[in-house]
Structure 1
């Protein structure tokens, strides 16, 4: 009869299964950032005014004279999505742990995901408890940005090896990528400050950041222009660097996305930041994070994906 260890070998997850779960983690991490902004622009940030409960003595929304039911449902739905992400992240970690050969880097990246979900839940709870103070909302979004970046790296790790990375592009271009990552982080941080000073606080009674919005918008725009400039220089140098086809595709996508994002940001500002445009802007921001992370990953090579350990079939197990 086959033993428990034999059965476990038969049912080990495949690299493809890990890749699918990693993609699901990435998609849901980006989705939680978008649903978070929906909570904010609809004024539902305090739809559930306590944490971890929705209301005192209730984990779920209840009829309340001071809080509209729609706001409760939107905020509670965002909290439930966190649980879904946590479940998917845990499944990805278990799959990465079980795949053979064992890959330490892959497991490490997968481990960050459920830990990050826990951290995000705590930050989200803190945001509610401090009544959506602008700095807490900024921290909440930046934590999501970091997790989206790492989830993108995780997805890439499911398609490559574990060797020491070798540059696909010359060192000067890798330095440009470092600058691009720094500028991306600065754009995101300043974007959260624009939001903190703007009209969409998540709740009508939340105090705003006491800085002039036009000045913040101008600084934000200058950083976006710096991103475009660095990206353009990278593209000029890329022509003579013998890039891979994938790197060229990612670069092209990055150029398109940053231009679309800039257009959305400009239109949203001149239209008075309507809610739909704000959601579109954040959605595009998550895509820019992803494409910048992919540009970083595709500019280095870690060798081929390790060959999976051959499975032991049930017939062979019984015979053994």
Structure 2
């Protein structure tokens, strides 16, 4: 899809892909904030840090939390630049404009959700069940933001618009796959929070499940078992979906990204199993989160390619020649 200024369109594409990669790094740094317990490094102040714009002689937790706020703020500036450049170099009605505006809106919402978490004290060692809800919402918004940035990058690079009308069964399969992946990510965020707050005790994973449903267990502990169950269900569905889409939308792109999704699912399932077996060390949690981001982006890419590919033509049986009697 052409832009009004082809030379400047290259810069728009680079900015979109750069913003996507940068936001993945910001997400991982946010996980470091959670893992280190530095979420309360700026106290219960937001957007200020301990009541000031720039903290003086900060402790380590304050440095970690404040740096996360700075990197998140830069995400907002990148989104603003993406909106401005998209309106400058593309024609009216170009989908890159919509993608850039949606990305900016989701980044603003991301900051607001993080602010609510701080102002309500749902950080550090808080075991309030509301923290699990906010953590899940935060992850869902994060995934939607990555999806919006990815689509913006595709459109800025000349990719076609999405075709939603007349997609029939393919659209339904894709919508369910995206929803399941999103819910899986939300459940994973709650599980990661539970692993942080309730350090796994010695014993087998079955022992951990028993403790999670013990008399003294809280809601966040109760929810930890849901994530692995959802992982099996969602992975099974996505693998089946790949086969269905290859029949409904036969194209090299759909085949390529379908196989990529199956591969990522296999690696992610292995990482999840190791995370449980090793009792969720910090490096494994970061690896698991990174793979979750990759799995989401590959799923969105497959959806985009499938909804941009022509439908398969129904096969018609050859007519039989008549027989004269």
TM-score of the aligned structures, taking structure 2 as reference length: 0.77
- Which residue of structure 1 aligns with residue 266 of structure 2? 259
What is the rounded CA distance, in whole Å, between the counterparts of 1:219 and 1:147 in structure 2? 24
Which of residues 115, 126, 134 is equivalent to 2:105?
115
What is the rounded CA distance, in whole Å, between the counterparts of 1:38 and 1:249 in structure 2? 33
Which of residues 196, 199, 206 is equivalent to 2:196?
199
Q: What SS is found at the alignment partner of 2:38?
A: coil
- Which residue of structure 2 aligns with residue 21 of structure 1? 15
Which of residues 79, 85, 91 is equivalent to 2:81?
91
- Which residue of structure 1 aligns with residue 24 of structure 2? 30
- Which residue of structure 2 aligns with residue 146 of structure 1? 144
Once the two structures are TM-superposed, the CA of residue 222 in structure 1 deviates from its matched residue by 2.2
CA deviation profile, 1:224-270 (whole Å, cap 9, x unmatched): 22222222223333554462222222112211111111111111112
What is the rounded CA distance, in whole Å, between the counterparts of 1:152 and 1:209 in structure 2? 40
Q: What SS is found at the alignment partner of 1:297?
A: helix
Residues 164 and 171, structure 2, Cα contact 8 Å, conserved in 1: no
Q: CA RMSD in A?
A: 2.7
What is the rounded CA distance, in whole Å, between the counterparts of 2:18 and 2:265 in structure 1? 24
Q: What SS is found at the alignment partner of 1:161?
A: coil
Residues 95 and 161, structure 2, Cα contact 8 Å, conserved in 1: yes
Cα 1:217/1:52, change in 2 over 3 Å? closer
Which of residues 35, 55, 71 is equivalent to 1:81?
71
Higher relative contact order (CA 8 A, sep 6+): 1
* Structure 1 unpaired stretches of 5+: 1-9, 202-207, 304-320
TM-score of the aligned structures, taking structure 1 as reference length: 0.78
* Structure 2 unpaired stretches of 5+: 123-130, 199-215, 311-325
